C-alpha cells in the first residue's frame, strides 16, 4: 500500500465538499480517518468485508480483535442487531451521541471481520460534528478503530494519524485536537447486569446515575483473568521508549527519579502539574492538575507520543486516582507500562 493520503483541514470550519468527498471514498470501500470526540478513528463500510480488511491491513491489527461500528442515527442500530434491550434504550437516551459503546446481539449485518466472528456487535454514535456529518453523508454504518498503528498510543491529533498511517490510507480529515482524549467506554448490554469491558469517556459514576447496577469485567483488575473484550489482551498505547509507572506519593516519585536518573540520564517524566512543580528535572510533560482528571485524559496520548527512542531511555509516569475518568487513564497507563514501581 503506497497510495497518496489526501489530507483535508476542517479544524476551523467544516466544509460540505470535504464531508462529501470523504463519504464518497467510504462508499467506494476506501478507508478514511476522521476525528471523533474521543480519539481519531479509521473508518470503513462496516457491512463490506474487503473494506474492513483494509483497516486491519493499514493498522497491522490482529484479526481476532473486533471493531466498533459507528452510526449516525438510531435506525442504523436496528439494522445491525437482533434486539435492543430496554437498558440500552435508556443508555442511548442519556449518553448518545457520546463516548459510550454498547455491546448488543448481532444479526450479522456487520461483516464477520468487524465482529471477529462473535455473536455480538459493538455500536456507538459519536458526538463530534465531523464524524456525525460524514456518517450521515455516507449513509453507512462505519467500523472505526482508533487510527493508530496497532500497539501505539491512540491519535488525538491529525498529525498523530499522519505519523502512523501516511501512505497507507485514502484520507485524513483534520478536525483539530479531539476533546475527551481517551476512547469510549465499552459496556456489555447482553448480560442481566451491564458490564464495563473497557473504562472510557463515560465513567462508571455516570452510568450508576442511570443504572441500578453496573459491573466491571474482573479482567480489568486482575491480569490473570481472560478479558471478555478481545482487544484488552494486547500490548497497547505504548510509547517508543519504555514507560515505568510509579505508584506512590510525591516523595517516593522524587526518590525514584533521582535514583533512576543515575543509570538513565535521558529520563523523561509525565506528571500532574502538582508533581511537576516539585521535581528538579528538565524533561517533564505536565499534563494538567491531578484535581482535574478530564484535563489529564485530554493530554495523555500526546504526552505518550512525544518522546522518541533516539532521545529518551525511559519515561517515568505518575499514577492517578482511579475515580471518574481516572479509571480509563490508569487502564491505559497499566497497559502501556513495561514496569511498575510501587511504594506500598
**Residue 122 makes contact with ligand TXA by CB under 6 A:** yes
Number of chain positions touching ligand TXA (CB under 6 A): 29
For residue 77, give the nearest of 110, 99, 118, 36 by alpha carbon. 110
**Is the separation of the CB atoms in 204 and 39 below 8 Å?**
no
* Closest distance of CB 263 from ligand TXA, Å: 35
Residues 6+ apart with CB under 8 A from 323: 205, 293
Site string for ligand TXA, 2-41 (x = CB under 6 A): ----------------------------------x-xx-x
Q: How far is Cα 145 from Cα 126, in angstroms, rounded to an integer? A: 12
Nearer to Mg ion, 159 or 313 (CB): 159
Residue 165 binds what, of Mg ion, ligand TXA, none (CB under 5 to 8 Å, by partner type)?
Answer: none
Between 199 and 326, CB nearer to ligand TXA: 199
* 146 forms part of the interface with ligand TXA (CB under 6 A): yes
| Closer residue to ligand TXA, CB minimum distance, 217 or 318 | 217
Which of residues 8 and 40 has its CB atom nearest to ligand TXA in the complex? 40
Which does residue 297 bind out of Mg ion, ligand TXA, none, counting CB within 5 to 8 angstroms by kind? Answer: none
Cβ-proximal residue to Mg ion, closest one: 146
Residue of 53, 41, 66, 62 lying closest to 1 (CA atoms): 53
153 is an interface residue for ligand TXA by CB under 6 A: no
From the list 119-127, 146-154, 189-197, 322-330, the region that binds Mg ion by CB under 5 A is: 146-154
Select from 302, 260, 264 the least CA-distant residue to 153: 302
Distance, CA of 67 to chain centre: 12
Residue 145 binding ligand TXA, by CB under 6 A: yes
Choose the stretch contacting Mg ion; rule: CB under 5 A; options: 29-37, 73-81, 141-149, 252-260.
Answer: 141-149
**Based on CB atoms, which residue is closest to ligand TXA, 227 or 288?**
227
Looking only at residues 62 through 121 of this chain, which bind ligand TXA when binding is defined by CB under 6 A? 65-68, 99, 101, 103, 115, 118, 120-121
Secondary structure percentages of the chain, helix, strand, coil, to 5: 35, 20, 45
- Report how far residue 72's alpha carbon sits from residue 197's, in angstroms, rounded to the nearest whole number: 23
> CB-side exposure of 96: number of CA atoms within 13 Å?
18
Sign (positive/negative) of CA torsion 315, 321, 327, 329?
A: negative
What are the phi and psi torsion angles at 72 (to 5°)? Answer: -100, -10
Integer CA distances (angstroms), 211 to 31, 202, 294, in order: 36, 13, 22
Sorted by sequence, the CB contacts under 8 Å of residue 130 that are 6+ apart come out as 10, 14, 19, 34, 35, 173, 175
219 binds ligand TXA (CB under 6 A): no
Among ligand TXA, Mg ion, none, partner that 98 touches (CB below 5 to 8 angstroms by kind): none
Binding positions for ligand TXA, 237-296, rule CB under 6 A:
none
Binding string, 188-217, against ligand TXA, x = CB under 6 A?
---------xx-------------------
Cβ of residue 44: shortest distance to Mg ion, in angstroms?
Answer: 15
Among 127, 146, 184, 203, binds Mg ion (CB under 5 A): 146
Helices (H), 49-126: 49-59, 74-80, 86-95, 112-115
Q: List beta partners, residue 314.
A: 267
Q: Could you list the residues that contact Mg ion (CB under 5 A)?
A: 146
Q: Could you list the residues that contact ligand TXA (CB under 6 A)?
A: 36, 38-39, 41, 65-68, 99, 101, 103, 115, 118, 120-122, 126, 144-146, 183-184, 186, 197-198, 229-232
Amino acid at each position: 500500500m503506497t497510495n497518496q493520503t489526501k489530507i483535508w483541514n476542517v479544524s476551523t470550519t467544516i466544509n460540505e465538499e470535504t464531508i462529501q468527498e470523504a463519504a464518497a471514498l467510504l462508499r467506494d470501500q476506501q478507508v478514511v480517518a476522521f476525528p471523533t470526540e474521543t480519539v481519531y478513528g479509521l473508518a470503513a463500510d462496516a457491512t463490506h468485508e474487503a473494506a474492513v480488511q483494509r483497516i486491519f491491513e493499514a493498522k497491522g491489527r490482529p484479526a481476532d480483535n473486533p471493531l466498533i461500528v459507528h452510526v449516525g442515527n438510531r435506525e442504523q442500530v436496528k439494522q445491525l442487531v437482533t434486539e435492543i434491550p430496554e437498558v440500552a434504550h435508556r443508555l442511548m437516551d442519556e449518553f448518545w451521541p457520546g463516548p459510550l459503546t454498547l455491546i448488543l446481539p448481532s444479526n450479522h449485518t456487520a461483516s464477520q471481520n468487524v465482529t471477529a466472528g462473535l455473536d455480538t456487535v459493538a455500536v456507538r454514535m459519536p458526538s463530534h460534528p465531523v464524524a456525525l456529518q460524514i456518517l450521515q453523508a455516507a449513509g453507512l454504518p462505519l467500523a472505526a478503530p482508533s487510527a493508530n498503528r496497532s500497539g501505539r498510543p491512540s491519535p488525538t491529533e491529525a498529525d498523530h494519524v499522519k505519523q502512523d498511517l501516511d501512505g497507507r490510507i485514502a484520507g485524513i480529515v483534520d478536525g483539530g485536537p479531539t476533546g475527551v482524549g481517551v476512547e469510549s467506554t465499552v459496556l456489555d448490554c447482553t448480560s442481566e447486569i451491564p458490564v464495563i469491558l473497557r473504562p472510557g469517556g463515560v465513567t462508571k459514576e455516570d452510568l450508576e446515575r442511570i443504572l441500578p447496577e453496573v459491573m466491571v469485567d474482573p479482567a480489568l483488575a486482575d491480569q490473570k483473568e481472560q478479558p471478555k473484550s478481545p482487544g484488552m489482551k494486547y500490548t497497547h498505547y505504548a510509547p517508543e521508549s519504555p514507560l515505568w509507572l510509579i505508584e506512590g506519593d510525591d516523595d517516593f516519585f522524587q526518590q525514584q527519579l533521582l535514583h533512576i536518573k543515575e543509570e538513565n540520564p535521558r529520563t523523561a517524566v509525565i506528571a500532574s502539574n502538582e508533581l511537576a512543580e516539585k521535581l528538579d528535572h528538565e524533561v517533564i510533560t505536565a499534563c494538567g492538575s491531578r484535581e482535574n482528571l478530564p484535563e489529564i485524559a485530554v493530554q495523555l496520548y500526546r504526552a505518550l507520543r512525544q518522546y522518541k527512542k533516539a532521545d529518551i531511555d525511559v519515561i517515568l509516569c505518575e499514577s492517578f486516582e482511579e475515580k471518574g475518568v481516572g479509571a480509563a487513564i490508569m487502564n491505559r497507563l497499566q497497559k502501556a507500562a513495561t514496569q511498575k514501581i510501587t511504594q506500598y
